Amino acid sequence: MLFDPHYYPYPSQRRVVFAKNGMIATSQNLAAQAGLEMLRKGGNAIDAAIATAACLTVVEPTANGIGGDAFVLIWNKNKLYGLNASGPAPKAISAEILKREGYEKIPNLGLIPVTVPGIPAAWAELSRKFGHLSFSQVFTPAIEYADKGFPVSSLVSRLWEKAYKLFLNYKKDEIFHPWFDTFAPGGRTPQPGELWRLPEQAKTLHEIADSNASTFYQGEIADKIDAFFKKYNGYLRKEDLVSFSPQWVNPISACYRGYDIWEIPPNCQGLVTLLALNILKEFQFDNREDSDTFHHQIEAIKLAFLDGQHYITDISQMQIRIEELLSASYARHRKQLIGEKSIDPYSVRPFGADTVYLATADKQGNMVSYIQSNYRGFGSGIVVPGTGIALQNRGTNFSLAPSHINYLKPGKKTYHTIIPGFLSKDSQPIGPFGIIGGTMQPQGQVQILTSIIDFHLNPQAALDAPRWQWIEGKKVQVEKDFPRDIVEGLENKGHLVEIAMDSSEFGKGQIIWKDGKGTMLGATDPRADGGVAAW
């Protein structure tokens, strides 16, 4: 058996949730209930995923928005599909142009790091290919929350205030005024439990729903985006929006102890998870609570990131075949680099970000693993006036160095951190899983999968377990409740271990899996405000 549903080795206020007819797991209860509402109305897991995702742009704007990107894995009729809805750099921008303007690197905020948003197109494409309900119907909960108000959750309130303090440094710059008008009217952010409205976003969601998202890429909203960027000498244009469409892709996988782990291929970093697992399956682990086990996991992640940050880019411009990187011979070669002591890889430091993840399942057997993000907090800080649309800053992952694999070019996609996951065995689905949080995502996925597959923790216990996070070089952070004897063991192996008092940077995950008895099993991360909606 993959896991024992009754095995809870860690203190938790949550338990695995079971359901028969349908399930939604995500970081906000209101969004999960929106997805469940679609199932009760006769919709399927894809309708539920769109409704949940649209709702999350309203109730958790600190981590995602209409102006971000999405990746999706869908199990439908005995086949796994992948959708890449990440957008490219505008056609009018290039590294040469920015360097002539005096930039040595791409800024985190402002007009420059904005790439073409993919989320509205993802919603429309998912509905077109798989949805049962009308496109407009799945937006009803999100529009109602934005128009009539929603109670802000505790974590979102704290992150909202944190973002406000950051943006105060840019308040004098006119291009950021719409952010304050939208998200901090009256010079403040919402308190926990406060009823908060986003009326402009309600109008935008209504327009997207009525037009199958065409207004965002070809109509009135596209015109507003174009006009704003022209006014302030930005680079994104309506031409970029008109020419964009999400891409259906073949998911990539690695087999770990007889289980197939599936990810979206580059430009997203799901490859890092698979590279690490390929290395780890060359080892045998007898005890989870052992410093040797964590040492090997950390070293495998280092090597996987080293490869990922060297090779992952727009798939049309990758310089090595994915099959070569995922070969058994390559995994054995990388394994040889892992010894008894911590190594100091020469890769760049992993970068952090904010994201939302959701998983859905229905009684017909459809399952969705969905992730979307504005990248860092509210993204670029750019809000298109009159729309409530916060635009992402995914372009910060481009480089201005000509030798870099993600050298900025017009129309190119860059390294993307968000990664939905899916598990299967013997060509049969087990279900979706995901962890949010920049480069914590593959690290979190590896920790959860090994806890369940190697050590038979149930999904909730695997999410509850204290986590580690490789930062750079030999530096590793662990959560404050991480076992002290394992910390000492890692330090003896040369790791520089820091104990973090704040768990906000260790990812937040959700899981929905079949339990082999005809029911669904759901789990959600205690580090988030969300839950599992079951029917």
Query: Residue 330 has which token pair?
Result: 């390559």
3-state secondary structure of 359: strand
pLDDT of residue 351: 59
d(CA 493, CA 291): 9
Residue 355 among the catalytic residues: yes
Helices H / strands E in the chain, number of each: 18, 21
pLDDT of residue 2: 74
Which residue reads 């490219």 in tokens?
Answer: 88
Question: Residue ranges of the alpha helices (H) in 168-269?
Answer: 177-183, 199-211, 214-217, 220-231, 238-242
- Please report the sign of the dihedral spanned by the C-alpha atoms of residue 262, residue 267, residue 269, residue 271: positive
- The residues facing 534 across adjacent strands are 23
**Pair type for strands 22-26 and 354-362:** antiparallel
The pLDDT tens digits of the residues spanning 358-400 come to: 999 999 999 999 999 999 889 999 999 999 999 999 999 999 9
Residue 343 burial (CB count, 10 A): 16
Three-state secondary structure along 17-57? EEECCEEEEECEHHHHHHHHHHHHCCCCHHHHHHHHHHHHH
Give residues with Cβ within 8 angstroms of 426, minimum separation 6: none
Q: Could you give the angle at the alpha carbon of 510 between the alpha carbons of 504 and 380, nearest 5°?
A: 50
CB 493 within 8 A of CB 441: no
Where the chain has pLDDT below 70, the residues are: 1, 3-14, 346-353
pLDDT of residue 63: 92
pLDDT of residue 530: 87
Residue 339 burial (CB count, 10 A): 11
What stretches of 292-409 adopt beta strand conformation (E)? 354-362, 367-375, 383-384, 389-390
Which residue type does 20 have?
K
The pLDDT tens digits of the residues spanning 279-322 come to: 999 999 999 999 999 999 999 999 999 999 999 999 999 989 99
Catalytic residue among 355, 414, 439, 524: 355
CB 439 within 8 A of CB 430: no
The structure's pTM equals: 0.95
